[in-house]
Structure 1
């Protein structure tokens, strides 16, 4: 890890002006992790003249000029700092907020070309590619949320995340995009009705190709202008915070597109990416890979993470495609990659980058979440760096997702032969701090929606989807569900159309939505379902009198004072009556949730709301419960009610 001495604030002339201009609290991070305070375009006044100070990193350029609205795109020379930093700067009077600009870069050899500002705070509406001068001033009203964030985001608290793609969640009546502000108000109302605790936004940084869903970024510090201004995005986050919801951002430090105006060959050399395509080109995504071995690149990315957390008050980052960063041979054939210095396939500079990233972020914002989308078996992703880990707070449980979806797509009569697919995740459930994801990636490109994945007729599909969600909310780990799943979207997702909101008028789909809302209510209200999501003491298998190969029965525990929940899952279309489960003593168990209840669109079979323990030995226990388990249903039994406030 490259550690350099802190730079004196006087050596960064834009630092003080930026902090005064922006009403965000002081950022406790090293100067080299705050490059956005010096680089980019900052509104300023010098010698009584209002204008903009520009600064860009282009160490190998022969000359750099600023071109824009304010000078007829004719160009104004920038001055090299000549201090080894590779920075060029210029102050241009009259360059004002909203003006468009680019940098015209003359390389050491060849013709000049134009690039967008890598640290621009705003960008033109695509397909135009210029940067825009923008202010980051905004008056926040989320003080209550920010003050309580550490408590509300503690690892023992419930976390149920609603993943959203802004361009296709909802649109205006004429089919145009809603702006960030309107989306914020609508999202807050929807999440309040559905009981989610967090919203996760798919990437919002500027991207020229809408069909990339935001994963091919060209403006790392600029929110997409498709939905409004920086202040409009701040308002979205502010609105959700005021209504009590956390907001996570999907963040992409793994690759970037090769568009002519973006980071590739920025100053005529391979500045941000590797020169060798075996290291610097991603064959799966046809994009360029950051050179994590270069400290300026690491500083750029770490500064970008801190920027979104600081100026937009995001409550965490979901870090995209971590496995592609960890492995040099990711999505490559033999001969298409270079081994590391030890002959292995681990990307050692990327490992060092992630550790430096998580250290810097958690030092500055100890109350946020860093969540890795990591699909391999790399150990200790969510463990502290001093224990040999990567330092993330959580990791997506892709194994659970793949095994569970493979199982639920099977015909009901085959499932008894594949129960291990469901049970396997419990054996490693506490090796990492896991989040259970049913994300956008599972409902695109011919995979079908979660509703379509279920076998059988429409009634069985709806019951099967409720069954899947019940199993997921009972399973240890935080939860994440992609938009549309909460009401049984039938068509698979496509970014060019909105969700099928008209399905809410159908009782079957309204019932699925009510089930998800009640699952969230129980998850938040019953400590047994969330307190020990990352601790084995919060889970144990239930003892059945007779094994049922299509039934899973397990306990979630919160400790003696806060009770227990028994989760019973029937994965076949036949009801099971007289299911006997061993319990340790006498007592009254409430049927707090039953996915087959008629209000959810089920058949109405159940246990009349209550089950009493009988003094009959069962499964090594002194007492037993005798339960009716409806078809394709999940039943939650609790030794205490769900608090009314939840």
Structure 2
């Protein structure tokens, strides 16, 4: 057997013998109990677990544990005291002097000099006005930290822990720091909803959510898009590009200000209203968190913060991502860990996010960042000198901290490598994520649509790729995320229908075999499901942000809700099917059930089943409600016979026309 097949068998045996209920060795090798193929790498597991334990022990000893250590946002940056004083702290270990400057003190470097402690942390107190009001007024007051390097160079930077920045492109492409201290704090109305058992994720970008070509606002998303998401039956929203980023077209992946919600979409209270309203609808909200790299901007980012290239990042080539043209964090430094772990806490405490989708995890896990690496599945690829153990340990700590402090948190890893244990508890030696994205599935669909005719699709191979994942590690399946929707290739809807998107999507035109096509993903691909905004109705065009290459046009940086709302177009039928599918999963919960066993992949054979009795149709793609041909009589009851079939005790015969999928339920 192959390693994958043997691992699968071991996982099943572990589950059947309830080995997972036994105490695991507390040295990081617990994973071996459920995956014997990891035995040769026991020492690697021990070493990284020992690093993790040392960090936790040191944080407990010197910082009184996770809770205090990860509340850096209450210590660093500008924080208003009960008496109205403002205390500003910043870590800048390589400068000779520092001062706080801004409109409030006429940008005078002599008025608020800062003092340094032994750890390179600078501090100053801006005393309150005589009436007790903060000396720095709320909003529209620009400020910076001004520093002198050992070489005598004067550098001005935006505070690293800044919570609000704005950008006026008519003046400069760089951001300005804003002191955000509204006199009336946001009053939350709703509590966190119940954690979803089956994760159905609606991946969304606030800015592209308007019909017309412009940047949509938080409040518009709340009013116009949240009701659509709820009606469709999704239970989780994943928000992209919220952390402030310099370049809109980067899809949020060139983060400049890690504690600031993007001002493009409105004030912070708009994001809070969005999340609060989503909670009132029973929806979880995940943040797309970018801790894999940072924008290389100097004036409004973290790069060269204290005049050196190694303040928050590795120095030299190790600190640069050649493909992304960005900076790479030094995950082995105390203050960098404080910054990143506190960043996670901040988005939960300040905005009440329910979890995170960690971007670029593959880049973090390996010193080669996944560049030019195919990941064949050999276990040697996941250990040894190619692995960045400091980054792995950081992710272990992040997941450990989040799950201990917030038991209902959800964390998702964007990882293409398939590292064993990524989605197993840290106590076993795993990295601690709840889910990983099943990134091979969209690649499979694109490859099939590009290279093969429908008649040449291999059902057995399709099913294999859908179910080929590590058992006891949860996956989120998807056919198309934001990555596949971006300009540069055709979207799946275009690959399926091509020119007929423009000629045969009217309900007045004939339904052609080209338009009458579909993909399998939801039922087999994972323990969660993800859809990118607009794909639920087959959005007709790719996503392209304004940039020099398109004359800075917003034409494709939008979602055309008008076409799904138009009763004369067929997009509404796909939307209706997506709605039926999501709501049916809510009723039956197949995503959160044990992984399906496929007895046979054969177009003309019987269906085997363990459960004798009657079956009825609960979802039928041929239903006219979904623009099908109505060839299936859904009132028919299907009865099993006691004839065993493909290792199942019973079997039944079902009429299924070509290009039709049926979902049957046992009465």
Shorter-chain TM-score: what band? 0.7 to 0.9
Q: 2:202 aligns with which of 162, 176, 186?
A: 162
Question: Which residue in 2 is equivalent to 1:67?
Answer: 101
2: CA distance, partners of 1:227 / 1:132: 16
Q: 1:181 aligns with which of 215, 219, 222?
A: 219
2: CA distance, partners of 1:584 / 1:345: 45
Corresponding residue SS for 1:344? helix
**Residue 247 (structure 1) shift:** 0.5
Indicate yes or no: 2:651 matched with 1:624: yes
**Residue 520 (structure 1) shift:** 0.5
Q: Could you list the per-position Cα deviations for residues 303-332 of structure 1 after superposition, in whole angstroms to 9, with x for gaps in the alignment?
A: 001110111111110000001001101255
Indicate yes or no: 2:571 matched with 1:523: no
TM-score, structure 1 normalization: 0.82
Unpaired stretches in structure 1, ≥5 consecutive residues: 10-27, 335-339, 552-575, 641-646
**Residue 244 (structure 1) shift:** 1.2
Corresponding residue SS for 1:317? strand
Indicate yes or no: 2:91 matched with 1:33: no
2: CA distance, partners of 1:631 / 1:57: 65
Corresponding residue SS for 2:146? strand
Aligned CA distance change for structure 1 residues 333 and 517 (closer, same or farther; 3 Å): closer
Aligned length: 563
Corresponding residue SS for 1:314? coil
1: CA distance, partners of 2:403 / 2:353: 13
Question: Which residue in 1 is equivalent to 2:22?
Answer: none
**Residue 259 (structure 1) shift:** 0.8
Question: Which residue in 1 is equivalent to 2:618?
Answer: 592
Q: Is the 8 A contact 1:205 1:219 kept in 2?
A: yes
1:148-159 to 2 correspondences below 5 Å: 148-149=193-194, 152-153=195-196, 157-159=197-199
2: CA distance, partners of 1:475 / 1:86: 49
**Residue 525 (structure 1) shift:** 0.4
1: CA distance, partners of 2:75 / 2:207: 32
Corresponding residue SS for 2:167? coil
1:551-570 to 2 correspondences below 5 Å: 551=603
Indicate yes or no: 2:128 matched with 1:78: no
Question: Which residue in 2 is equivalent to 1:479?
Answer: 529
Aligned CA distance change for structure 1 residues 583 and 392 (closer, same or farther; 3 Å): closer
**Residue 454 (structure 1) shift:** 1.6
Question: Which residue in 1 is equivalent to 2:4?
Answer: none
**Residue 616 (structure 1) shift:** 6.5
Q: Is the 8 A contact 1:272 1:297 kept in 2?
A: yes
**Residue 169 (structure 1) shift:** 1.6
Between structures 1 and 2, the one with greater strand share: 1
1: CA distance, partners of 2:639 / 2:60: 66
**Residue 297 (structure 1) shift:** 0.5
Question: Which residue in 1 is equivalent to 2:186?
Answer: 138
1:37-116 to 2 correspondences below 5 Å: 37-44=74-81, 46=83, 50=84, 52-75=86-109, 76-91=111-126, 93=128, 94-98=135-139, 99-116=141-158
Question: Which residue in 2 is equivalent to 1:4?
Answer: 59
**Residue 606 (structure 1) shift:** 1.9
**Residue 34 (structure 1) shift:** 1.2
Q: Is the 8 A contact 2:438 2:525 kept in 1?
A: no
Q: Is the 8 A contact 2:93 2:306 kept in 1?
A: yes
Q: Is the 8 A contact 2:616 2:636 kept in 1?
A: yes
2: CA distance, partners of 1:109 / 1:68: 24
Q: Is the 8 A contact 1:205 1:222 kept in 2?
A: yes
2: CA distance, partners of 1:585 / 1:57: 64
Aligned CA distance change for structure 1 residues 295 and 583 (closer, same or farther; 3 Å): same
Q: 1:310 aligns with which of 349, 362, 367?
A: 349
Indicate yes or no: 2:375 matched with 1:321: no
Indicate yes or no: 2:391 matched with 1:350: yes
Q: Could you list the per-position Cα deviations for residues 149-187 of structure 1 after superposition, in whole angstroms to 9, with x for gaps in the alignment?
A: 3xx33xxx122111111111225x6x4433212312222
Corresponding residue SS for 1:30? helix
Q: Is the 8 A contact 1:607 1:628 kept in 2?
A: no
Aligned CA distance change for structure 1 residues 580 and 422 (closer, same or farther; 3 Å): closer
Q: 2:247 aligns with which of 209, 219, 223?
A: 209
Q: Is the 8 A contact 2:424 2:432 kept in 1?
A: yes
Aligned CA distance change for structure 1 residues 214 and 606 (closer, same or farther; 3 Å): same
2: CA distance, partners of 1:585 / 1:282: 54
**Residue 625 (structure 1) shift:** 2.3
Q: 1:222 aligns with which of 253, 260, 266?
A: 260
Corresponding residue SS for 2:655? strand
TM-score, structure 2 normalization: 0.79
Question: Which residue in 1 is equivalent to 2:663?
Answer: 636
Aligned CA distance change for structure 1 residues 371 and 354 (closer, same or farther; 3 Å): same
Aligned CA distance change for structure 1 residues 333 and 201 (closer, same or farther; 3 Å): closer
**Residue 384 (structure 1) shift:** 1.1
Indicate yes or no: 2:560 matched with 1:500: yes
Q: Could you list the per-position Cα deviations for residues 94-133 of structure 1 after superposition, in whole angstroms to 9, with x for gaps in the alignment?
A: 2121122111121111421211111111112353412111
Q: 1:376 aligns with which of 414, 417, 441?
A: 417
**Residue 288 (structure 1) shift:** 0.4
Q: Could you list the per-position Cα deviations for residues 447-491 of structure 1 after superposition, in whole angstroms to 9, with x for gaps in the alignment?
A: 212211226755445432xx32x5424544201100110111111
Question: Which residue in 2 is equivalent to 1:25?
Answer: none
Q: Is the 8 A contact 1:35 1:299 kept in 2?
A: yes
Corresponding residue SS for 1:199? strand
**Residue 354 (structure 1) shift:** 0.8
Q: Is the 8 A contact 1:61 1:267 kept in 2?
A: yes
Question: Which residue in 1 is equivalent to 2:597?
Answer: 540
**Residue 628 (structure 1) shift:** 2.2
